[in-house]
Chains A and B, each alone.
Chain A
Amino acid sequence: MLAFDKEYFNIGFLDTLSYKHSFVHSLDPRIKLLTTLAFILCVVSFPKYEVFQIIPFFFFPVFILSAGNIPLKFILKKLLVVSPFVLFVGVFNPVFDTEAIYSLNGFVISKGWVSLLSIMIRFILTVSAAFLLIATTSFMGLCLALERMKVPKVFVVQLLFLYRYLFVLAGETMRLIRAVNMRAFDRKNLSIKLFVSITGTLFMKTIERSERIYQAMCSRGFDGEIRLLKRYKINFTDTVFALATITVFIILRKYDITNMLGRALG
């Protein structure tokens, strides 16, 4: 498969997931946005060398993943794609920060390694939470949540159109590249000239399309304002979910549960 096709189907898959039905999918988007933000805030605010106290936070992504019926493999793949960047951020810590922090039977672990580990864990937690939010909330839902949270309407409407036409444009690009490939045979890289002309074609097509869309909007009474019907309501389940998860976040953030458990058992 061509690289572009693959990316296209990837976004498409994320989008398809968001239209499934499950407990998590049916929560109000605002609630999901709020809890995810609270989660990220808690995880990120831990001190630099913390590792054990962060681990219990895995309960949240694991819960969303299983309750939302999201394939684990999908999230793992996403994490793998982004991980090089994080490694790059933390990779020099062990080199510069060599002070010992733990020692196990003469085996010394430096602060640098611990902070690298801590960064990796935080990264896995926050990125998977963000992906899970997207995979369990339709883009439309997210936009409506933003609108209700007083994000300017112009901005929200732009996002909605972006979402709607991203797939149309991507599909068009995909077909165009396929068509070129079909006749370019095995020439691996397209010449600059060809690239320019493809971009030009896409640009013209886009301009023409936007004109037709604008006409279609006008013919349906568009007067400069997009009216969206509000359809989400925060109900009892939403409130309980938000209160429960955020309480757990705060407890996990304030108290070292792992340590307490260890002492209670030991």
Chain B
Amino acid sequence: MSHHIVEFKDVYYTYPDGTEALKGVTFRIHHGESVGIVGANGTGKSTLILQMNGFLLPTAGTIRIGDLQLDKKTRSEIGKKVGVVFQNPDDQLFMPTVFDDVSFGPLNMGLTIERVIERVDEALRTAGCYELRDRPPHHLSLGQKRAVTIAAVISMQPDILAMDEPAASLDPKARRQLITLLKGFKHTKIITSHDLDLILDVCERCIVIANGKVKADGPAREILLNQQLLDENNLELPLSLQRR
């Protein structure tokens, strides 16, 4: 299948204030792959994720998602294929209750009411937050908010899931649940994280970004064992590998 491929070709991105965040990024992610994106702070990981479904359009270079090349015209079509989970859940949960938030996408897809409710229930259960459905987002903890954002994204049944630091500030149990959830998601996954153990657990492939460029790209087990590479990028060996 070719339609779940994510391909970046020499992508540049400069913010309006002149900050060059991406300086020629190239990679190709195949259908069903799960890829971790790691790197020091401010190297452009979040910028990269925001390109995936057209929040930001590259200043130069091309991005292909499946058969579509990302541009102004295709961004809404691509937006339906790629579900992006932002770093800050408050930016993404904009409706007054969890249920309304998760149903927002499916309702806009023109499904019948019964189908919408079915999908919402399913997504809430998958993300492990069914019992929160009538709560307003501002009554939730960060981990709960994160689970709801994930439910909101998977309720649209995207082909590709892109997440920006999903494990940041989660407690160990919430983190474990997240890992289980991610492992259960069979489509293409792209995850940025400083939690290298999570990457090791969930992703088979790992891309290291440094200074807006791809520094290394290969099997997660190899990359995350490369002490020198990790040191150069302000990263540390995953805890599970340190004991060896």
Q: Which of B106-114, B173-181, B188-196, B198-206 contacts A (4 or more CB under 8 A)?
A: B106-114
B-side interface residues, number (CB < 8 Å) = 35
A213-B91 in contact given A140-B97, A219-B79, A219-B84 (Cβ < 8 Å)? yes
A220 touches B96 (CB 8 A): no
Decide if B243 is an interface residue (CB 8 Å cutoff): no
Q: How far is the CA of A212 from the CA of B84 in the complex (A)?
A: 12
Does any Cβ of A come within 8 Å of B72's Cβ? Answer: no
Highest count of chain B CB atoms <10 Å: which of A138, A212, A222: A212
Known contacts A160-B96, A161-B94, A209-B91: A219-B138 contact under CB 8 Å: no
Is the pair A215, B55 in contact by a Cβ cutoff of 8 Å? yes
- Report the contact-size class of chain A (Cβ under 8 Å from the partner): 20 to 34
Q: A216 is contacted by which of B86, B103, B137, B139 (Cβ under 8 Å)?
A: B86
Task: Give how many A-B residue pairs fall within 8 Å (CB-CB).
Answer: 81
Given the interface pairs A140-B97, A221-B80, the reply to whether A168 lies near B156 with Cβ below 8 Å is no
Whether B55 and A219, one on each chain, are in contact in the complex, defined by CB atoms closer than 8 angstroms, is yes
Which residues of B lie under 8 Å from residue A223 when comparing CB positions? 108
By a CB distance below 8 angstroms, the chain A residues around B76 are 218, 221
Is B241's beta carbon under 8 Å from chain A?
no
In angstroms, Cα B105 to Cα A190, docked, is 44
Contact A220/B90 with A140-B97, A164-B96 known, Cβ cut-off 8 Å: no
Are the C-beta atoms of A213 and B94 separated by less than 8 Å? yes
User: Are B96 and A212 in contact, with the CB atoms below 8 A?
Assistant: no
A4 interface residue per 8 A CB criterion: no
Measured CB to CB, the residues of B under 8 A from A are 53, 55, 76, 79-80, 83-84, 86, 88, 90-92, 94-97, 99-100, 103-105, 107-109, 113, 116-117, 134-139, 152, 156
